[in-house]
Each structure stands twice: as structure tokens, then as C-alpha cells.
Amino acid sequence: MTQLVIEAGRTEGQYWRDLWRYRELFLFFAWRDMLVRYKQTVVGVSWSLIRPLLTMAILTVVFGRLGKMPSGGMPYPLLVFCGMLPWLFFSMAVMESGNSLVTNANMIAKVYFPRMTITVSSVMTSLVDFLISGVFLVALMLWYRVSPPHAVLFLPLFVLLMVASSLGVGMWIAALMVEYRDFRFIVPFIVQFGLYLSPVGFQSSVVPEKYRLIYALNPMVGIIDGFRWCLLGISGGFLVSEIAISLVGVTLLLLSGIWYFRRTERTFADVI
């Protein structure tokens, strides 16, 4: 017979066991979000293609044509799309997971389940969009007759890094948003500015060398440069240090995110 002890401030071990017990819930939430997302839309799933395509077109025109940024010998749209793939995932995942607790407030006030499931699964939902865009990238590479270098084998590492960084930021924001709804307004800013602060529409090599390491403090810099290195074989130098900084940053972000989420989770139902 299952035994359970609920004691003030002593539920840590129980929690991780529960997370495992409720593992199906990750999929259920992700499944729900996927089902709901394109209900009552005309073009449905196509939206997850239209968005990156339009963004790619605009960034190509602005940075490539008007800004005349260096393309590293690659077709500019391809360069942009490689950067956009992780960036769109990140922005989408952070927005969705950041809002995840507040949009499910009613559930949180009425049923028990490890709250982390809801935040994590909204990141997983964005992964589906990522895969769809990924297919499009393959098509784009075939079209431009660009074949990836051997470094493509490292791609999973950067995908992992990308997911981890979104999770870290998402957990922080989701937990903070429960108490401070201000983050509902802050997140769109992060996403909007982030697009220009990260090397999405351009290569990070256009940043002056002495600032490169500071620039790399934005964890997305290492991730985006990593994607371009794996897929197109171009790197603007400093790749190793960028990745190292990103790795450390993302680890810290994720661990602190989990810590803060857990710390505040016990009062979610009271505050939300």
C-alpha cells in the first residue's frame, strides 16, 4: 500500500518520485497544447512554417541586402534560418512556459500534481514546431546545394543546450510570474530585444573582437554559433570559449531555475 507523509518543509524526496509517477502528464499536457493551439485557425499547422519563413525574409532583407552584413560564403537566407531555428524555439518556449502556470491557475488551485510537469511540457510543445522548421531547413539546404560538414554530429549537443536554456529561463519566469504578473510584460521585451541581441540576422563575427567574450554571456550566442558550425561549417572564431561560457551559463540557469521553482512551488496555490 502506498504510504505518504506530508510534513511541513519535508517533501523534497517525495517530489522527485512524484515527478516520475506523473511522467505521463508531461505528454498529456504537451498533447493538449498541440491539439488546442491550432483549433479554429484556417491554415492550422502551417503557421509553424509561415512564421519562420516571414521572419527569415525580413531579416535577410534588413541585414543581408540593406545592412550588407558578411554571409561567410553562404546564401544569406540559409545563414539566417540556421540562427533562427534555435532562436524561435527559445523565444516560443520561454513565452509558453513562462505563462504556463498562470494560464493553468485554476488547475493549480484545485488539483495536486508536480507543477513542473506543466512548465516542462510547454517547452516540449515548442519542440514540435522546432522539428517542423527543421524539416524546412533540410529542404532549404538541398535547394542551395549545401551539404553539412562532419560537425553535424555535434548537433544534438546544441539542441540539448538550447532546450536546457529555455527550460532554465522558463522556470524562472513561470515561478516569478505567479507572484509578479509584471513578467507578462517583461517577457515580450526579452523576446523582442533578444532577436537583435543574439546573432540571428547576422554572424557574431561582426561584433568587435574585444567585446566577443562579453557578448557570449548571452547563452544564445554560443548556441546559435554552434548551430551554424554544425550545419554550415562556419564559425566566426571564439567558438570554443563561446560554447564553454554558454555551457556554464545554461547549467547555472537551469539549476537555479529548478531551485527557485521548487522553493516557490509550495506556495503557488496560495498566491496564484
Query: Helix, strand or coil for residue 185?
Result: helix
Q: Does 106 bind other proteins (CB under 8 A)?
A: yes
Stretch that binds other proteins, among 17-25, 58-66, 209-217, 246-254 (CB under 8 A): 17-25
Q: Does 239 bind other proteins (CB under 8 A)?
A: no
Write out the H or E segment, with its range, that includes residue 140: helix 116-143
Write out the H or E segment, with its range, that includes residue 209: none
How far apart are CB 36 and other proteins at their closest, in Å?
5
Residue 264's Cα: distance from chain center in Å?
22
Nearer to other proteins, 36 or 244 (CB): 36
| Chosen residue from 2, 20, 208, 211 binding other proteins by CB under 8 A | 2
| Chosen residue from 111, 145, 150, 208 binding other proteins by CB under 8 A | 111
Q: Does 143 bind other proteins (CB under 8 A)?
A: no
Stretch that binds other proteins, among 25-33, 153-161, 224-232, 233-241 (CB under 8 A): 25-33
How far apart are CB 50 and other proteins at their closest, in Å?
21
Pick out residues in 27-66 that bind other proteins (CB under 8 A): 28, 32, 35-36, 39-40
Closest by CA to 248, choosing from 205, 208, 226, 217, is 217
Residue 31 grid coordinates: 498533447
Nearer to other proteins, 14 or 251 (CB): 14
Pick out residues in 155-184 that bind other proteins (CB under 8 A): 179-182
Residue 199 grid coordinates: 546573432
Stretch that binds other proteins, among 41-49, 59-67, 162-170, 264-272 (CB under 8 A): 264-272
Closest by CA to 134, choosing from 230, 254, 32, is 230
**In this structure, which long-range contacts are made by residues 137-143, counting pairs with CB atoms below 8 Å and at least 24 apart in sequence?**
137/81, 137/82, 137/85, 137/231, 140/77, 140/78, 140/81, 141/78, 141/231
Q: What 3 state SS string does 76-101 have?
A: HHHHHHHHHHHHHHHHHHHHHHHHHH
Q: Using CB under 8 A as the criterion, which residues of the chain lie in contact with other proteins when the complex forms?
A: 1-9, 11, 22, 24-25, 28, 32, 35-36, 39-40, 104, 106-113, 179-182, 266-271
